[in-house]
Amino acid sequence: MTKQHRADHLLRRLNELYPETPIPLEHRDAYTLLVAVLLSAQCMDVRVNQVTPALFALADNPRGMMRVAVDEIQAVIRPCGLAPRKSAAISELSRILVEQHGGQVPADFAALEALPGVGHKTASVVMSQAFGVPAFPVDTHIHRLATRWKLSSGKNVEHTERDLKKLFPRASWNRLHLQIIFYGREHCTARGCNGTRCLLCRELFAKA
Active-site residue list? 121, 139
Cβ-in-10-Å burial (0-12, 13-18, 19+) of 69 comes to: exposed
Cβ-in-10-Å burial (0-12, 13-18, 19+) of 8 comes to: middle
Calculate the dihedral angle through the C-alpha atoms of 188, 194, 198, 200, rounding to the nearest 10 degrees.
80
What CA–CA distance (Å, rounded) separates 185 from 107? 29
